[in-house]
Amino acid sequence: MEAAQESPDRPPLDVNALSDEAFLSANGIPRLTVVESTGSTNADLLRGSGEDPFAHPDLTVLAAEYQSAARGRLDRRWEAPARSSVSVSLVLRPVNAEGRPLPTQSYSWLSLLAALALCEALVDTAGLPAELKWPNDVLVRGRKIAGILAQLGPMQGGAVPPVVLGTGLNVTLTEAELPVPTATSVLLENPASVDRTALLKSYLSRFTALYRSFCNADGDPTAGMAGGPSLHKRLEHQLTTLGKQVRAQLPGDHEIIGHATRLDDYGSLLVVDSGGHEHVVTAGDVVHLRPWTPPGQNAGHESGYA
């Protein structure tokens, strides 16, 4: 295992398997492109969906073997060796079964929906105990293995703007290649598989099924999805954040300390402070969210929070 981590095998994504017509049509993906290198798949699709919207319909997919200028939430930059990650972005133009655009306030659930799909893919394909950390991180054993970033695209002739949803999953990064000590990769967690093509196909299949159910329910997170519990219920079951004492750092050096109790109707985190006041923490505002332990008590393990 040590030797594998020093020099892991990093084959390219299987473009033929990803381009298979049966796979694409079963998941409603009109176009899937894999590029060897780019600055950022999210930036490429944001630009492309604005310049040529007809060539970038709903569920257009772009994956890259290497990104030189990838960015996460709050413009945090990250970089990984070529072919060591799953780096993929999708164009989303959410409409219901009648073709009516979803209300834009429902868009706040899309990154959480993607994180849930990735958790399920990691459990089923790699056998890893993946969990979701609000607002957009996927953890394995308390360490960050993936992040999700949703960005609103440009307005086009008064139409509802698209959403570009990017996902970065660490697959074969070694300990020395991790961006921070609190991160991990599929390889480092004794997985059943490190096949990036299988992981990507699994993620896309699960995402498209959840996304279709979400859209057909008009973006209602309390509606049952894909023959099972609602998005809201599934997320509350998967979120490691809920039930914890947390410190939410906000812009301007403001912070909220309290008990993370639940998600509201827009996917924001509700935190109850020591005085019993309930605070709404939105994904767009929070800078850091970490566990909090009162002074004098054992702080415990905090590596999963950033």
Q: How many helices (H) and strands (E) does the chain have?
A: 7, 16
pLDDT of residue 186: 98
Own/partner contacts of 123-130, CB < 8 Å, gap of 24 or more, are 124/202, 125/192, 125/193, 125/195, 125/198, 125/199, 125/202, 126/186, 126/189, 126/191, 126/192, 126/193, 126/194, 126/199, 127/191, 127/192, 127/193, 128/186, 128/189, 128/191
pTM for this one?
A: 0.91
In the three-class reduction of DSSP (H, G, I as helix; E, B as strand; rest coil), residue 156 is classed as strand
Q: Please provide the average confidence, as pLDDT, over all residues in the chain.
A: 90
Q: Which of 6-20, 73-87, 115-129, 187-201 has the lowest mean pLDDT?
A: 73-87
List pLDDT tens digits, range 63-88: 999 999 766 544 556 678 999 999 99
List pLDDT tens digits, range 202-221: 999 999 999 999 999 999 99
As given in the structure block, the two tokens for residue 5 are 């981590």
Q: Which of 20-24, 36-40, 156-160, 237-241 has the lowest mean pLDDT?
A: 156-160
**Strand-by-strand arrangement of the 137-140 sheet:** 32-35, 60-64, 85-92, 163-170, 143-152, 137-140, 130-133
List pLDDT tens digits, range 20-61: 999 999 999 999 999 999 999 999 999 999 999 999 999 999
pLDDT of residue 293: 85
